[in-house]
A and B are shown apart, each in its own frame.
Chain A
Amino acid sequence: MSAPSATAPVLQAEALTLAFGGVKALTNVGFSVAPGSITAVIGPNGAGKTSLFNTISGFYKPSLGRVLFEGADITRLPAPKRAALGLARSFQNIALFRGMTVLDNIKLGRHAHLKSNVFDALFYLGRARREEAELRRDVEERIIDFLEIDHIRHASVAALPYGLQKRVEMARALAMQPKVLMLDEPVAGMNREETEDMARFILDVRREWGITVLMVEHDMGMVMDLSDHVVVLNFGQVIAQGTPAQVQADPEVIRAYLGAGDVGELRRRLRGEAAVGAA
């Protein structure tokens, strides 16, 4: 796994502060995501991980600070514009279009990039036909094959098991042709086998598609195994960041996860999980 390169970061959070009334969900959060890296945000429940995700993807507006995407300030851009720029995300609680098929869900990911207008569509002429053909080819040959969901392409998403729904959500995000893929707990609630599949997909997304990955994840083994860079949040603040090894050795992190308990024990546990994840 290569270390983040020295090139300009593709995504940057600068001193982000987010307050809901008097409650500060995020305080002065800053980190960068190097292009081509896998960056993970970890932290105990309620640490502000999902708030951070929502701020980066445009669902929340920070009270202070900036979000930079490829060097440009996108803090004030609404979510759909950010999606069009190449920022795709998945949701912690799966947000698929229920009642539609897997294929329709995935194709909707390309929505922001389509240009055909109402008359093209009505008569299914020129542009609409071309766009549809191109989209179909890309979705069917690349994305569906890649995520191994060929057998369920015409199934209704609502009827699928949880692990497959997560995969469809990722497929839809890939159809958005993102530069950065944001995954909110991609393996939450999955068994070991499903987790390993998903880990493999995340690595392949980076390797084969050249997409930068930013994820929030609880599964410590997977985070330590996949990530180049780990950001640790606690009570809405960054308490540590660095390589997995640096973060695991950080006493502040250990305290956040275990309280003021036995540091050696947690260190062993973190390592142990990482070892299992790697196996």
Chain B
Amino acid sequence: MDWAYLFEIALTGIAGGGLYALAALAFVLVYKATRVVNIAIGEMLMVGAYLFFTFAASFSLPIWMAVLGSVIGTGLLGAVIERTMIRPLLGEPPISVFMVTVGLASILVGLVEIIWTADQRRLPEFLPNTPVMIGEAFLAPKIAYGALIAVVLIGLVLLLFRFWRGGVALRATASDQAAAYSMGIHVPRVFSLAWVASSMIAAVAGIIVGAIGGISSSMGVFGLSVLVVVIVGGLDSVLGALVGGVLIGLIEALAGSYLGGEYKLLATFIVLVFVLMVRPYGLFGTHEIERL
């Protein structure tokens, strides 16, 4: 056993997992507040990445402005989706809303292909490209800096959730809508907030994913791994999203380098099946207990 190699792989896996955690956070945010399973989360990432591409490459804006533009643009898209597609379905069976997000995913892919064509593209280089050394281990710079951005953003979001009024309103709504409503919390506005915040986080995740692997109209498949992460972690658990993200990132990296790239998905799905057998609500998800 080559311990140095294992350490290096594990480090890459954990760093990659940071990105999963960020995207999973975006997913959990919407699920927690609105109980909507947003299957289009990967496509939201894609839209963020393409908007960044447009602002940075086509309009040649400075990177920070392009990031800001992408985050705001994707946030607006989230608000529009919530208002026009999700809110009218309030009170409908969860499966209907779920199917709408499936449709949303293909609409977004179609829009991207119409506007930007289906060709693969590269994002302008904006992350430092000097290798990062942690001890003896080498870490690809894009992955390292991507993880760093993810960690900072996750920290920021968690702080906002803990201390900002809007964050508290969101937690309250997630816990009990009727009580939140009677407490003076405008629940529909909280739904809107959850979608906007989720879309903004997805945009940042999309930009990092795009910076690492390039962008294309099929980059939404990243969302598949995110779904595994949130199901493993527990759909409504922020902690689950973080732990699940790192865990799945780690497993993918280990399976990819010791068994070969084609075993990555197999390994993660085996973990998924195992977790579901032992804890059907995910590692940190809440059991649904109703007192009758």
CB within 8 Å of B: which residues of A? 57, 59, 78-81, 83-84, 88-89, 91, 95-100, 108-109, 111-114, 116-118, 121-122, 124, 128, 172, 176
B158 → chain A, closest Cβ, in Å?
12
Whether B164 pairs with A118 at a CB distance below 8 angstroms is yes
A111 touches B163 (CB 8 A): no
> CB within 8 A of B165: which of A81, A98, A109, A116?
A116
Give the docked Cα–Cα distance between A96 and B171 (Å). Answer: 12
Distance (whole angstroms) from the CB of B263 to the closest CB of chain A = 38
Contact A111 B164 (CB under 8 A): no
> Contacting A91 at CB < 8 Å: which of B168, B169, B172, B179?
B179
Report how far A109 CA is from B183 CA in the complex, Å.
6
> Judging by beta carbons under 8 Å apart, are B160 and A118 in contact?
yes
Interface string of B146-184 (1 = CB under 8 A from A): 000000000010011001111111011001101111111
* Complex contacts, B179 vs chain A, CB 8 Å: 91, 95-97
| Residues of A contacting B178 in the complex (Cβ-Cβ under 8 angstroms) | 59, 91, 95
> What would 16 A/B residue contacts be, using CB atoms closer than 8 Å?
A59-B178, A79-B181, A80-B181, A80-B183, A91-B182, A95-B182, A96-B179, A97-B175, A99-B175, A111-B169, A112-B183, A114-B165, A116-B165, A118-B165, A121-B167, A128-B163
The answer to whether B122 has its CB under 8 Å from any CB of chain A is no
Tell me, rounded to whole Å, the shortest Cβ–Cβ distance linking A123 to chain B: 10
Closest to A88 in B: B182
Count of chain B residues with Cβ under 8 Å from any Cβ of A? 25
Q: Compute how far the CA of A121 lies from the CA of B175 in the bound complex, rounded to whole angstroms.
A: 21
Task: Report the Cα distance A79→B183, complex, angstroms.
Answer: 8
Q: Is the CB of A57 within 8 A of B182?
A: yes
Interface check B72, CB cutoff 8 A: no
Q: Is the CB of B186 within 8 A of A108?
A: no
| CB of B291 to closest CB in A, whole Å | 8
- The answer to whether A122 touches B181 (Cβ under 8 A) is no
Instruction: Determine the distance from Cα of A53 to Cα of B206 in the docked complex, in whole angstroms.
Output: 47
How many residue pairs link A and B with beta carbons under 8 A? The number is 80
Contacts of A81 in B (CB 8 A): 184
Considering the complex of A and B, which 9 residue pairs feature the smallest CB-CB distances, nearest first?
A: A112-B184, A83-B184, A95-B179, A121-B164, A97-B175, A80-B184, A80-B186, A121-B163, A79-B181
Q: How far is the CA of A124 from the CA of B180 in the complex (A)?
A: 24
Instruction: Give bound CA distance, A55 to B121, whole Å.
Output: 56
Inter-chain CA distance A79–B179, complex, in Å, is: 10
**Given contact pairs A80-B185, A122-B159, A176-B184, A108 touches B164 in the complex (Cβ within 8 A):** no
Return the chain B residue nearest A89 by Cβ. B182
A80 to B160 Cα, complex, angstroms:
22
Decide: A100 and B175 in contact? CB cutoff 8 A: yes
Q: Which of A84, A91, A100, A117 contacts B184 (CB 8 A)?
A: A84
Quick check: B172 and A97 within 8 Å, CB to CB?
yes
Q: In the bound complex, do residue B165 and residue A176 qualify as a contact, i.e. CB atoms below 8 Å apart? A: no
Closest approach, in angstroms, between the C-beta of B159 and any C-beta of chain A? 7
Q: Which residues of B contact A100 (CB under 8 A)?
A: 171-172, 175
Determine if B186 and A78 form an interchain contact, defined as CB atoms under 8 angstroms apart.
Answer: yes
Inter-chain contacts of B182 with A (CB < 8 A): 57, 59, 79-80, 83, 88-89, 91, 95
Min CB distance B258 to A, Å, is 39
Most-contacted residue by chain B among A80, A109, A122, A128 (CB, 10 A)? A80
Q: Decide: A124 near B163, CB < 8 A? Known: A91-B178, A97-B172, A111-B172.
A: yes
User: In chain B, what residue has the closest Cβ to A128?
Assistant: B163
Q: A95-B176, A95-B178, A99-B175 are in contact. Are A83 and B163 (CB under 8 A)?
A: no
Which residue from chain A places its CB closest to the CB of B189 in the assembled complex?
A80
The smallest beta-carbon distance between B244 and chain A, in angstroms, is: 19
**Distance A64 CA – B159 CA, assembled complex (angstroms):** 46
Say whether A112 contacts B185, CB under 8 Å: yes
Minimum CB–CB distance for B1 against chain A, Å: 42
| Residues on the B chain within 8 Å of A59, using CB | 178, 181-182
Task: Evaluate contact between B184 and A111: CB separation under 8 angstroms.
Answer: yes
Contact A118 B183 (CB under 8 A): no
Q: Are B166 and A97 in touch, CB under 8 angstroms?
A: no
Q: How far is the CA of A225 from the CA of B156 in the complex (A)?
A: 53
- Determine the distance from Cα of A109 to Cα of B172 in the docked complex, in whole angstroms: 11
Q: Complex formed: what's the CA distance from A112 to B186 in Å?
A: 9
- Knowing A80-B186, A83-B184, A96-B179 are in contact, say whether A108-B163 is a contact too (CB < 8 A): no
- Bound-state Cα–Cα, A23 to B187, Å: 28
- Complex contact B165–A111 (CB within 8 A): yes
